Structure 1
Amino acid sequence: MSDLQIGLIALGVLLILLVLGFNWWQDRRARQRMQARFPATEQDPLFGAEAAARTATPEHQRREPGIGVPGSAATSAAAAASEPPNNTADDAEEPDPACEVVVEIHFAEPVSGADLLGAVRDLTHVGRKPVRVFASTDRGRHRARLHAEESYATLQLAVLLANRSGALTAIEWSQLWARAQGLADRFEATIEGPDQQVVVDRATKLDEFCASLDAQVGLTLTLQAPRATAEVIGVARELGFAVDGGHLSWLADTGATRFTLSRADGGGFDNGMAPVDRLVLLLDVPRSPEDERAFGRMVDVGRDLAARLQAELVDDHGKPVVDGMETSIDQQLLTLFRKLDQAGLPAGGERALRVFG
C-alpha cells in the first residue's frame, strides 16, 4: 500500500471523527437548552405536578379548565392584550380538554411575540370550527394572549371538537395540522398532537352526545299589519330588550341572554328598513342560563309585545298560546337543564356556549 493510499485513509478517518464530534457537540448543546427550560427532577413528572398543585399557594396555582373560566371563545387568543402581562403569574384561561383538542408546537429557540402575532393573526378557524391560541413563555408562564414584548417557547393550537355545524372532520383537522406545520417550518419547531383517527372518533362521540341534549323553543308573533322596523325596535326596547347585532336580546341579571327576538324572514334589524310582519321569540336552551320559568318568562314578554304591536302569539305549530301551557313546558326544560348540568355542560356556561354555537 502506497503512502498516498495510507494518507487518504487517514484523512477519511479524520473527517468521520470530525463529523461525529460535531454531531455530539450539537446534541449536547440541545440537551443543555432543554434542561435550562425543564430542570431535571427525581420525581415522576405527573406525580411532581400533582404534588406542586397540592403545595402551591392559591396565587401560584394553575386554574384547570372548566365552566365559568373568564374569557370568550369568540375572542382570538392571538390578539395582544391592552395591558402588559403580569410576568410572575399564569393566565387563567386554558384549553378545555372536554371539548377541544390541542396541537403543540415546541420552538428550538424562543420566538418573539411580535413575530408570532403576525404569524397567527388570521388563525381563528379551520372550516367551521373555532381555534384558540395559547402559549408558554421562555420563563414558563402560561398565556391565553400573545404579547409582542414577550418571547415564547411553545405554542398551543386548541380546536373545538364539535359544535352545531357538526363534528370536527378529518379535513378540518388536516387544515389545522397544515397550519401548525407551516409555523414549525417558519420558526424551526417540532409538533406534537394526537392521531387523526383518535381526534375524529372523539369529535363524533361529542357531537352525538351534545345532539341528544340540544333544544330550542320558539314563539311567533304575527302582526295584523306590517310595522316599521324602527317602531318594532322602539317597542321592544321599552319592554327591556337590548340590541344585540341583528336581533334583540332579553338579558338575565348577569348579562347572559335568556331569549332573543328576531325577524321571521331571517333578516337583521340592523340590515335595511323593510317593514316587519312577523317576529320570532327563541329560547336557545343550552345557551340560556338555567331558569325555572324559562319558557313562562318568554311567554309573558311575548304577550306584552303582542298587545303593543297588535299581533297574535302562536307556538311552533301555529296554534295560539293558551294559559297553562307554559307550566308543563317549563317542567320539561328544567329536566333538560339538569341533564346539561350533570353532563358538565351547564346551560349558558362557557363550555355550553362553545359546543352549542
Structure 2
Amino acid sequence: MSDLQISLVIIGVVIIAGVVIFNRIQLARHHRRVQDAFRHEHDDVLLSDEHKPISVDERIEPQFGDEVPSIQDDATDLANVPASALSERHVANDQPVQKEPGVQKKAASVDSMINYIADIRSNSPIPHERLIDLLQQKFDYGKPVRWYGLQSEGQLWEEISLDTLSPRNTYIELKGCLQLVDRSGLVTEINLSRFRDMAEDFSVQIHAEVDCPDIADAYARAVDLDRFCADVDVIMGVNIISKDGGAFVGTKIRALAEASGFRLESEGVFRYRDSETNEVMFSLGNFESALFLPANMRTLTTRGITFLLDVPRVANGEKVFDQMVHIARLFSSTLNGLLVDDNRVPLSESGVKRSRQRLADIQTTMAAHSIAAGSETALKLFD
C-alpha cells in the first residue's frame, strides 16, 4: 500500500471519528435537556372538496405525508421552541390573576342573537327579596338561563346571580335570557313557553311590565341557529403513535407537555391556554381511553397521543392551528413517533394545507353571521 493510500485511510478514519464524536455530543446534550424536565416533581374530520355539514363529534385530521419531516436536534428541545411559533405560549400559574382595584366594571353583553329575552320593567326598585326568590328558582329549561339588571337609566347592564346580588344594588329593569341553542341542540317550544310564563308571573308579582317575544318566531330562530352551528362545529385533530409499535411513557409526555406550555387539568387532558384571556387554544389527550391524571402519569404508558383544536371556540384559528401543528411535529420527533389520522394512516402535507383552509373558511363563515370564532357569543354557543 502506497504512502498516499495510507494517508487517505488515516484522513478518512479521522473524519469518521470526528462525525461520531460530534453526534454523540449532540445526543448527550439533547438527553440532558430532556432529563432536566424530568427532575421536577409532579404530584378530525378528513377534508373533502365538498363543504358538507359536519356533526358535533366530527374531527378534521390534517395529513402530513408518508414520512415525518426531519427536525434538527436542537429544535427538538421543547423548552426552546421558536418564539415566532409560540408567541402566545403560556404556563398558567396556580394563583388566580388579581384584578387591579378601581377598574371600571365592564358592561354585560345581552345577546339577542342567541337568546330568548324577557324584558321586565318596573317603575320602582324591584324588592331585593323578590330578586332572591327569582334567582333561587331551579330553572330547568334545557338550556342556560342568565339574568341581567339595570340599576337606573344611563347605567350599565350587569349580569346578576345569587353570588353577585347585593342589597345595596337596586334594579328597575331586568332581562331574563334563555339561550336558544348549545352543543346539545336547540331549545324546545315547550320550554320557551314555560320560560315566558315564569317571566310573566314574576312581573305580576312585582307589579311590573314585561315584554316577551313571540314563541313561534323565537323557535324558528332557534332552528336556523342550530343548523348554522351544526355546519361550523368542527374539532381538528392530530394523532401521534409510536413508529416501532412501542409505547410512550407518561412521565416523558408530561415533561414535554409542560416544557412546551401545556398544563394538566382536572378533566384528564393537558390544555394550552392563551396568556391574556386564559381561553383554551388546543389540548393534548390520550389516543387511548385512559385519562391523563396526576396520580397515574408516573406509571401510564400509551401507544398514542392526540392534539385537538376546537375551531369555533378559538380566535385567530389559522395562527393557532400552525402553533398546534408545529408543537405536534416537535413531539413526534422527540418521542420517535409518527403523525397519523384516526385510522392510523400517515398524514400528508397537502392535508395540512386543506385542513388549514377549511378552518379559515369556517371562521370566515362565522364572522359573516356576526358570530366571530372565540368570541363571547361563540363560547356560549359551543360550550
Does the 8 Å CA contact 1:295/1:330 hold for their aligned counterparts?
Answer: yes
Does the 8 Å CA contact 1:124/1:132 hold for their aligned counterparts?
Answer: no
Q: Cα distance 1:136–1:171, how it changes in 2: closer, same or farther (>3 A)?
A: same
Letter in 2 for 1:99: I
1:193 pairs with 2:212: yes
- The answer for the alignment partner of 1:258 in structure 2 is 281
Per-residue deviation, 1:281:
1.1
1:205 pairs with 2:219: no
Following superposition of structure 1 onto structure 2, how do residues 102-121 of structure 1 map, counting pairs within 5 Å? 102-107=117-122, 109-113=124-128, 115-117=130-132, 119-121=134-136
Following superposition of structure 1 onto structure 2, how do residues 24-35 of structure 1 map, counting pairs within 5 Å? none
Q: Cα distance 1:145–1:289, how it changes in 2: closer, same or farther (>3 A)?
A: closer
1:168 pairs with 2:187: yes
Q: Cα distance 1:197–1:301, how it changes in 2: closer, same or farther (>3 A)?
A: same
Query: Please, which of 134, 137, 148 is the counterpart of residue 151 of structure 2?
Result: 137
Measure, in 1, the Cα distance between the counterparts of 2:374 and 2:284: 18
Letter in 2 for 1:134: Y
Measure, in 2, the Cα distance between the counterparts of 1:172 and 1:262: 36
Does the 8 Å CA contact 2:119/2:212 hold for their aligned counterparts?
Answer: yes
Per-residue deviation, 1:305:
2.2
Per-residue deviation, 1:203:
0.4
Letter in 2 for 1:259: F
Following superposition of structure 1 onto structure 2, how do residues 186-335 of structure 1 map, counting pairs within 5 Å? 187-222=206-241, 224-225=246-247, 227-228=249-250, 231-246=252-267, 247-252=269-274, 254-255=276-277, 256-265=279-288, 268-270=291-293, 273=296, 275-277=300-302, 278-335=304-361
Q: Cα distance 1:91–1:313, how it changes in 2: closer, same or farther (>3 A)?
A: closer
Does the 8 Å CA contact 2:311/2:317 hold for their aligned counterparts?
Answer: no
Does the 8 Å CA contact 1:134/1:145 hold for their aligned counterparts?
Answer: yes
Q: Cα distance 1:193–1:266, how it changes in 2: closer, same or farther (>3 A)?
A: farther
Identity %: 24
Superimposed CA distance per residue, residues 144-183 of structure 1 (whole angstroms, 9 cap, x where no aligned partner)? 1344112222221112221211112123324433543564
- The answer for the alignment partner of 1:32 in structure 2 is none
Does the 8 Å CA contact 1:288/1:348 hold for their aligned counterparts?
Answer: yes
Q: Give the TM-score, by structure 2 length.
A: 0.61
Q: Cα distance 1:183–1:288, how it changes in 2: closer, same or farther (>3 A)?
A: same
Measure, in 1, the Cα distance between the counterparts of 2:138 and 2:158: 14
Measure, in 2, the Cα distance between the counterparts of 1:170 and 1:316: 38
- The answer for the alignment partner of 1:29 in structure 2 is none
Q: Give the TM-score, by structure 1 length.
A: 0.65
Measure, in 2, the Cα distance between the counterparts of 1:318 and 1:262: 16
- The answer for the alignment partner of 2:97 in structure 1 is none
Does the 8 Å CA contact 1:287/1:349 hold for their aligned counterparts?
Answer: yes
Following superposition of structure 1 onto structure 2, how do residues 28-177 of structure 1 map, counting pairs within 5 Å? 92-107=107-122, 109-113=124-128, 115-117=130-132, 119-121=134-136, 126-127=141-142, 129-137=143-151, 141-146=155-160, 147-148=165-166, 149-177=168-196
Does the 8 Å CA contact 1:110/1:138 hold for their aligned counterparts?
Answer: no
Q: Cα distance 1:258–1:145, how it changes in 2: closer, same or farther (>3 A)?
A: closer
Does the 8 Å CA contact 1:286/1:337 hold for their aligned counterparts?
Answer: yes
Structure 2 unaligned regions, length at least 5: 1-99
Moved more, 179-188 or 299-308: 179-188
Per-residue deviation, 1:85:
11
Letter in 2 for 1:211: A
Q: Cα distance 1:292–1:143, how it changes in 2: closer, same or farther (>3 A)?
A: closer
Measure, in 2, the Cα distance between the counterparts of 1:91 and 1:345: 20
Measure, in 1, the Cα distance between the counterparts of 2:255 and 2:107: 40
Per-residue deviation, 1:125:
6.5
User: Aligned residues, how many?
Assistant: 272
Per-residue deviation, 1:269:
3.4
| Alignment root-mean-square deviation, CA | 3.4
Does the 8 Å CA contact 2:108/2:156 hold for their aligned counterparts?
Answer: no
Structure 1 unaligned regions, length at least 5: 1-81
Q: Cα distance 1:217–1:125, how it changes in 2: closer, same or farther (>3 A)?
A: farther
SS for the counterpart of 2:191 is: helix
Letter in 1 for 2:109: E
Does the 8 Å CA contact 1:261/1:279 hold for their aligned counterparts?
Answer: yes
Does the 8 Å CA contact 2:274/2:280 hold for their aligned counterparts?
Answer: yes
With a CA cutoff of 8 Å and minimum separation of 6, indicate the structure with the bigger relative contact order: 2
Letter in 1 for 2:150: S
